[in-house]
Protein backbone atom coordinates (compact mmCIF):
# COMPACT_ATOMS: atom_id res chain seq x y z
CA UNK A 1 0.00 0.00 0.00
CA UNK A 2 1.38 3.40 -1.03
CA UNK A 3 0.96 6.56 1.08
CA UNK A 4 -0.35 8.16 -2.13
CA UNK A 5 -3.25 5.74 -2.65
CA UNK A 6 -5.82 8.41 -1.77
CA UNK A 7 -4.18 11.20 -3.78
CA UNK A 8 -5.52 11.87 -7.29
CA UNK A 9 -4.63 14.05 -10.26
CA UNK A 10 -6.77 17.18 -10.28
CA UNK A 11 -6.92 17.69 -6.50
CA UNK A 12 -6.54 21.39 -5.66
CA UNK A 13 -6.06 23.67 -2.68
CA UNK A 14 -5.40 27.34 -2.15
CA UNK A 15 -3.93 29.64 0.46
CA UNK A 16 -5.30 33.17 0.88
CA UNK A 17 -3.35 35.89 2.61
CA UNK A 18 -2.95 39.61 2.88
CA UNK A 19 0.52 40.92 2.03
CA UNK A 20 2.19 42.37 5.13
CA UNK A 21 5.36 44.48 5.34
CA UNK A 22 7.24 41.38 6.62
CA UNK A 23 6.46 39.59 3.33
CA UNK A 24 8.19 42.19 1.19
CA UNK A 25 11.62 41.97 -0.37
CA UNK A 26 12.33 45.41 1.14
CA UNK A 27 11.85 43.96 4.63
CA UNK A 28 14.62 41.43 4.02
CA UNK A 29 16.96 43.34 1.70
CA UNK A 30 17.55 47.02 2.55
CA UNK A 31 16.93 49.37 -0.35
CA UNK A 32 14.65 47.00 -2.24
CA UNK A 33 10.99 47.81 -2.99
CA UNK A 34 8.29 47.16 -0.40
CA UNK A 35 6.41 44.61 -2.54
CA UNK A 36 5.53 40.92 -2.08
CA UNK A 37 8.80 39.01 -2.30
CA UNK A 38 9.37 36.09 -4.64
CA UNK A 39 10.54 33.77 -1.80
CA UNK A 40 7.31 34.47 0.10
CA UNK A 41 5.20 33.82 -3.00
CA UNK A 42 6.98 30.51 -3.50
CA UNK A 43 6.48 29.62 0.18
CA UNK A 44 2.75 30.27 -0.12
CA UNK A 45 2.57 28.19 -3.32
CA UNK A 46 4.36 25.36 -1.49
CA UNK A 47 1.96 25.66 1.45
CA UNK A 48 -1.02 25.39 -0.92
CA UNK A 49 0.53 22.31 -2.54
CA UNK A 50 1.23 20.68 0.82
CA UNK A 51 -2.31 21.30 2.02
CA UNK A 52 -3.66 19.70 -1.15
CA UNK A 53 -2.35 16.27 -0.18
CA UNK A 54 -1.76 16.32 3.59
CA UNK A 55 -5.33 15.28 4.53
CA UNK A 56 -4.99 12.25 2.22
CA UNK A 57 -1.68 10.99 3.60
CA UNK A 58 -1.53 8.30 6.29
CA UNK A 59 -0.58 9.29 9.83
CA UNK A 60 3.17 9.84 10.16
CA UNK A 61 3.65 10.92 6.54
CA UNK A 62 4.17 14.44 5.20
CA UNK A 63 5.21 16.03 1.94
CA UNK A 64 8.43 18.01 1.56
CA UNK A 65 9.44 20.37 -1.23
CA UNK A 66 11.84 18.92 -3.80
CA UNK A 67 11.71 21.23 -6.80
CA UNK A 68 10.37 24.65 -7.67
CA UNK A 69 10.21 26.24 -11.12
CA UNK A 70 8.29 29.49 -10.73
CA UNK A 71 7.98 32.83 -12.52
CA UNK A 72 7.12 35.98 -10.56
CA UNK A 73 5.08 37.97 -13.10
CA UNK A 74 3.98 41.14 -11.30
CA UNK A 75 4.58 43.16 -8.15
CA UNK A 76 1.99 43.20 -5.36
CA UNK A 77 1.96 45.97 -2.73
CA UNK A 78 1.34 45.62 1.01
CA UNK A 79 -2.32 45.27 1.92
CA UNK A 80 -3.39 43.36 -1.19
CA UNK A 81 -5.04 39.93 -0.95
CA UNK A 82 -3.07 37.11 -2.62
CA UNK A 83 -4.40 33.69 -3.49
CA UNK A 84 -1.87 30.87 -4.05
CA UNK A 85 -3.35 27.86 -5.86
CA UNK A 86 -1.92 24.35 -6.37
CA UNK A 87 -3.32 21.57 -8.58
CA UNK A 88 -1.94 18.03 -8.85
CA UNK A 89 -0.89 17.22 -12.42
CA UNK A 90 1.23 14.09 -11.92
CA UNK A 91 1.70 11.39 -9.29
CA UNK A 92 4.81 9.24 -9.17
CA UNK A 93 5.83 6.48 -6.75
CA UNK A 94 7.27 8.84 -4.11
CA UNK A 95 6.42 12.34 -5.29
CA UNK A 96 3.64 14.57 -6.59
CA UNK A 97 3.91 17.33 -9.23
CA UNK A 98 1.74 20.45 -8.99
CA UNK A 99 0.93 23.35 -11.24
CA UNK A 100 1.03 26.43 -9.02
CA UNK A 101 -0.27 29.96 -9.50
CA UNK A 102 -0.52 33.12 -7.43
CA UNK A 103 -3.19 35.77 -7.98
CA UNK A 104 -3.69 39.36 -6.83
CA UNK A 105 -7.42 39.71 -7.44
CA UNK A 106 -7.96 38.81 -11.11
CA UNK A 107 -4.32 39.42 -12.04
CA UNK A 108 -1.96 36.45 -12.18
CA UNK A 109 1.26 37.38 -10.38
CA UNK A 110 3.07 34.03 -10.52
CA UNK A 111 2.98 30.56 -12.04
CA UNK A 112 5.04 27.42 -12.44
CA UNK A 113 5.49 23.87 -11.21
CA UNK A 114 6.39 22.36 -7.87
CA UNK A 115 7.30 18.79 -6.84
CA UNK A 116 6.79 17.44 -3.33
CA UNK A 117 8.26 14.20 -2.01
CA UNK A 118 6.34 11.96 0.38
CA UNK A 119 8.24 10.92 3.50
CA UNK A 120 7.66 9.00 6.69
CA UNK A 121 8.61 11.65 9.28
CA UNK A 122 10.19 9.25 11.81
CA UNK A 123 12.29 7.47 9.16
CA UNK A 124 13.26 10.76 7.49
CA UNK A 125 14.40 12.36 10.75
CA UNK A 126 16.31 9.25 11.80
CA UNK A 127 18.04 9.04 8.40
CA UNK A 128 19.25 12.64 8.59
CA UNK A 129 19.92 12.77 12.34
CA UNK A 130 17.23 15.37 12.94
CA UNK A 131 16.52 16.21 16.55
CA UNK A 132 13.74 18.57 17.51
CA UNK A 133 14.50 21.55 19.74
CA UNK A 134 13.12 21.19 23.25
CA UNK A 135 10.75 24.14 22.76
CA UNK A 136 9.07 22.49 19.78
CA UNK A 137 8.91 19.12 21.47
CA UNK A 138 7.28 20.63 24.55
CA UNK A 139 4.62 22.44 22.52
CA UNK A 140 3.78 19.30 20.53
CA UNK A 141 3.91 16.61 23.21
CA UNK A 142 0.77 15.05 24.70
CA UNK A 143 -0.30 16.14 28.18
CA UNK A 144 1.83 14.53 30.89
CA UNK A 145 4.63 13.41 28.56
CA UNK A 146 8.19 13.98 29.85
CA UNK A 147 10.89 15.26 27.52
CA UNK A 148 14.49 14.19 28.04
CA UNK A 149 17.14 16.54 26.72
CA UNK A 150 20.67 15.30 26.04
CA UNK A 151 22.17 18.78 25.69
CA UNK A 152 20.91 21.17 28.36
CA UNK A 153 22.61 24.07 26.55
CA UNK A 154 19.76 23.90 24.01
CA UNK A 155 17.25 24.93 26.66
CA UNK A 156 16.21 28.49 27.29
CA UNK A 157 16.23 29.57 30.97
CA UNK A 158 12.44 29.86 30.94
CA UNK A 159 12.12 26.19 29.96
CA UNK A 160 11.67 25.09 33.54
CA UNK A 161 9.46 22.12 32.73
CA UNK A 162 12.21 20.47 30.67
CA UNK A 163 15.08 18.88 32.52
CA UNK A 164 18.35 17.21 31.60
CA UNK A 165 17.73 13.53 32.36
CA UNK A 166 20.51 12.22 30.12
CA UNK A 167 23.34 12.55 32.67
CA 79 to the chain's CA centroid: 22
Mean pLDDT (whole number) for 35-54: 97
Cα(113)–Cα(95) distance, integer angstroms = 13
| Per-residue model confidence (pLDDT) at position 140 | 52
CA 56 to the chain's CA centroid: 16
Q: Does the pLDDT at position 17 exceed 80?
A: yes
Q: Which domains does the chain have, with CATH numbers?
A: 12-126 (3.10.129.10), 131-167 (no CATH)
Count how many Cα atoms sit within 13 Å of the Cα of residue 46 in the half-sphere of its side chain: 18
Cα(166)–Cα(162) distance, integer angstroms = 12
| Per-residue model confidence (pLDDT) at position 139 | 52
- Cβ atoms of residues 138 and 118 within 8 Å: no
Q: How confident is the model at residue 166 (pLDDT cuts 50, 70, 90)?
A: very low
Angle made by CA atoms 16, 138, 130, in degrees to the nearest 5: 80
| Per-residue model confidence (pLDDT) at position 130 | 85
| Per-residue model confidence (pLDDT) at position 142 | 47
Give the residue with greater pLDDT, 124 vs 52: 52
The residue count of the chain comes to 167
| Per-residue model confidence (pLDDT) at position 119 | 95
Could you report the per-residue pLDDT of 84-132, keeping only the tens digit for each?
999 999 999 999 999 999 999 999 999 999 999 999 999 988 888 888 7
Amino acid sequence: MSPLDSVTVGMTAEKRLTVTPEMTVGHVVPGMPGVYGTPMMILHMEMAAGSTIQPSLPAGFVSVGMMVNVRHLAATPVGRMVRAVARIVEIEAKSVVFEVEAWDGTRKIGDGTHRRGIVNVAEFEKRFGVTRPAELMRSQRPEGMTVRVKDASLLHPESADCRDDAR
